[in-house]
Structure formats: structure tokens, C-alpha cells
């Protein structure tokens, strides 16, 4: 897919987000990390993949940032929680790398997705990289938990063609137990995107015994349908691919006994979303 040679040295190479990555940015001084966060001239990426068909419309280049303030019990990439686990990369190099795929992405009706971790932990870097993609006429998507959505100005929202918004669970207490934080900022961000008519795909991870309460799912469906800007709902079955990361990082993984949901269970939840008029899959 690349059109030609890199426009200079880059710190990126395509790697799977499922690889455990730690301390790749540990050599960067804390003051430099802080300066980078303020300026957005440098960011930290866990990995960088090409040819993804599951991270937004069409075929995507995906950059996975490090840094997340949430602690979801089912997180499959806990190595992304710590920002300095990622590779430090300048905005110029990240944009140059992305530029190599510009023509191929156009032909395949795809684009660029910034995922994580939580990309808006590095909001200035995210804004600059998304703006660089837009300047190259590349479709832009961000996958976010929405918690830091208020860090983006209205003008900056315009540089994002699609927001893939994770809604984890509806009940506030359950949300706090599952993620460690409150749900309110996520819902406020969703309402703000709706008011500005910015498209959303809702992502909902179905975890048996944790997020599958029928009344809770119905609340999320009702909320999503009421927004008017949700083009799609993706019901993602829980899996155990990230368990080894929890073990290797010495973290307390509490879902060892949880099995992925059945196909029927996923279909049942999709039906709840569809019953509200949403396009769910």
C-alpha cells in the first residue's frame, strides 16, 4: 500500500496492538513528556497498523496511542495505560508515515483511525495528527472513551469525520466499578457531538455477567437512539486475548473465569439496539 519511500527517518513500524509493549519511551525525560503534551509536537504510540478493516469505514491505517486514565476490568491492552510505554514520535514523522498511505486509503474508501489507550490523553498531539490527515484529504476517525472530549474545541471537532465512542455500561455505580470513573463526561461528549451533528459509531463490549444486564443495555440503546447522530452500533464480544498482558504486567485480572458471549447473546443485544431504529452489528 505505501506509495513510495519514507520522507525521512521514522520511529514507527507496523506492529500488532496485541503485542505487549513496555518502557519504549522511558528514556524521555519527564519534563520533555510534559512539554510534548502541551505542544503536541511529540506523541507516544503503542503501535501502528495498516490494512485494518475493523477500526472504522473501509480499510484503515491505525495509530494506537499510549496513556489511559480508565481501568476497565476487561481492557485487552493494559500496557497502553502508561504513556511512556509507547514509542516517542514527532508529529512530523507520524504525518510523513501516514502520508505514504494516502493514495491507497483513498482508493479503498478508508482512512486514518487514532485509537488507544485513550487518544485524548494526548489531545494536542491527536489534534495535530488528525488535522495533518485532513490536510492530506484522508478520512479521520478517533476511537475514544469520550472522557476528555471537552479538551477539543468546536473547530477541532470539525477535523474528525467520525467518533467511535465506547459506552461501557449505563448504571453509574456499575460504570464506576467497571472503569474506575464516572460515565457523565462520556455522555456529555456524546450530546455535544449530537448537537454539532458530528457522526458517531457507538462501541459496546458485551461481557457476560458484567455488561449484559438487559435493562442496562436498553438504556444505552435508548440514549444512543435519542442522539440522532449515531450511524452504527458495534456490539463487540468480550475475549481473553489481553489476559496474558495483565499477567505479565503483574496486574490483578478479575475475569479469568468469564467466557466470551455466545453468538446468540450478541445477536440478542444487537436486536435491542435495532429495536430503537439503530443500525447495530
103 dihedral zone (left: phi>0; alpha: psi -120 to 50; beta): alpha
Please give the residues from 20 up to 39 whose contact with ligand SF4 meets the rule CB under 6 A. Answer: none
Candidates 42, 62, 63, 72; binder of ligand SF4 (CB under 6 A) is: 72
Using CA atoms, how far apart are residues 13 and 229, in angstroms rounded to an integer? 35
- Choice between 79 and 97, CB closer to ligand SF4: 79
Candidates 44, 70, 204, 238; binder of ligand SF4 (CB under 6 A) is: 70
Candidates 80, 85, 122, 211; binder of ligand SF4 (CB under 6 A) is: 80
Strands 162-166 and 111-115: unpaired
Q: Binding mask 104-133 vs ligand SF4 (x if CB under 6 A, - otherwise)?
A: ------------xxx---------------
79 scored as a contact of ligand SF4 (CB under 6 A): no
Q: Least Å distance between CB 187 and ligand SF4?
A: 15
> Does residue 143 contact residue 113 with C-beta atoms inside 8 Å?
yes
Give the largest CA-CA distance in the chain: 54
Size (the chain), residues: 281
Q: Least Å distance between CB 9 and ligand SF4?
A: 29
Q: Least Å distance between CB 168 and ligand SF4?
A: 7
83 scored as a contact of ligand SF4 (CB under 6 A): no
56 scored as a contact of ligand SF4 (CB under 6 A): no
DSSP H or E run through 37: helix 30-39
From residue 199, alpha-carbon distances to 47, 134, 140, 143, 254 in Å are 26, 16, 11, 12, 34
Amino acid at each position: 500500500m505505501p506509495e513510495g519511500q519514507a520522507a525521512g527517518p521514522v520511529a514507527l513500524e507496523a506492529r500488532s496492538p496485541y503485542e505487549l509493549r513496555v518502557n519504549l519511551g522511558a528514556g524521555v525525560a519527564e519534563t520533555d513528556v510534559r512539554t510534548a503534551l502541551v505542544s503536541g509536537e511529540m506523541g507516544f504510540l503503542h503501535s501502528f497498523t495498516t490494512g485494518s478493516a475493523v477500526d472504522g469505514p473501509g480499510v484503515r491505517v491505525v495509530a494506537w496511542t499510549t496513556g489511559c486514565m480508565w481501568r476497565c476490568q476487561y481492557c485487552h491492552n493494559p500496557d497502553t495505560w502508561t504513556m511512556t510505554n509507547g514509542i516517542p514520535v514527532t508529529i512530523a514523522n507520524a504525518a510523513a508515515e501516514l502520508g505514504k498511505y494516502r493514495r491507497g486509503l483513498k482508493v479503498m474508501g478508508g482512512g486514518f483511525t487514532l485509537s488507544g489507550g485513550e487518544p485524548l490523553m494526548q489531545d494536542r498531539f491527536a489534534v495535530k495528527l488528525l488535522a495533518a490527515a485532513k490536510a492530506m484529504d484522508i478520512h479521520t476517525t478517533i476511537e475514544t472513551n469520550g472522557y476528555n472530549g471537552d479538551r477539543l474545541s468546536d473547530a477541532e471537532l470539525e477535523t474528525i469525520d467520525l467518533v467511535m465512542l465506547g459506552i461501557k455500561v449505563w448504571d453509574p455505580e456499575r460504570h464506576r466499578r467497571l472503569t474506575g470513573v464516572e460515565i457523565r463526561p462520556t455522555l456529555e461528549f456524546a450530546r455535544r457531538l449530537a448537537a454539532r451533528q458530528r457522526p458517531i459509531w457507538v462501541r459496546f463490549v458485551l461481557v457476560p455477567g458484567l455488561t449484559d444486564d438487559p435493562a442496562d443495555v436498553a438504556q444505552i440503546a435508548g440514549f444512543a437512539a435519542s442522539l440522532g447522530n449515531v450511524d452504527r452500533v458495534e456490539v463487540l464480544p468480550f475475549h481473553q486475548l489481553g489476559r496474558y498482558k495483565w499477567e505479565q504486567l503483574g496486574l490483578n485480572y478479575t475475569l479469568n473465569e468469564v467466557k466470551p458471549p455466545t453468538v446468540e447473546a450478541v445477536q440478542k443485544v444487537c436486536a435491542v439496539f435495532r429495536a430503537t431504529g439503530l443500525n447495530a452489528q
